[in-house]
Amino acid sequence: MTKELELATFAGGCFWCMVKPFDQWDGIEKVVSGYSGGHLENPTYQDVKSQTSGHYEVVQITFDPAVFSYEKLLEIYWQQIDPTDAGGQFHDRGDSYRTAIFYHTELQKELAEKSKQALAESGKFKKPIVTEILPAATFYPAEDYHQDYYKKSPEEYKEDRDKSGRDEFIQTHWK
């Protein structure tokens, strides 16, 4: 019997910080850092970072929905970001660092919209939830040195996370 795997694609600011929260669960087959949502074919990190390609930094997650649900992925996703910031995430500013949920199916769209509405109604944030819910676009994997950055460069990863303000935000709003 073969597994029926699905894709989930999330933009949550710097993709380095978005891999580890998803990478540690049974049912998650792989998490790939990359670019999506822009107009330039085969963008490089420099293209995306220069804010000229229109792409978001994203993670694309291959998962087994029989083991790990899309709803659970959404729950984890919301707890990694500031969904009220339209200008980027934490110390990473610009369009490539905006937040978005890229849906691959109508069911994912429905579940994403439902989870966004629930978050908006929760009262957890005083400002409106600005994270976009968009149709999945072409996904371009990032360069090899960006993949599994938290494993390959643990010191730099920790330093970047520490100075970003992401963990303080998560601690304040979710713990």
Cα-based angle 108, 114, 120 (whole degrees, multiple of 5): 135
Using CA atoms, how far apart are residues 22 and 76, in angstroms rounded to an integer?
7
Q: Cβ of 96: how many Cβ atoms within 10 Å?
A: 28
Q: Are 48 and 35 in contact (CB under 8 A)?
A: yes
Which structure tokens are listed for 43?
Answer: 């963008």
Cross-strand partners of 93: 88
What residue spans of the chain are helical by DSSP H? 16-23, 45-49, 70-78, 106-121, 149-152, 154-164, 166-174
* Residue 14 a catalytic site member: yes
Which entry of 9, 10, 13, 14 is annotated as an active-site residue?
14
Q: Are 119 and 81 in contact (CB under 8 A)?
A: no
As annotated, the active-site residues are 14
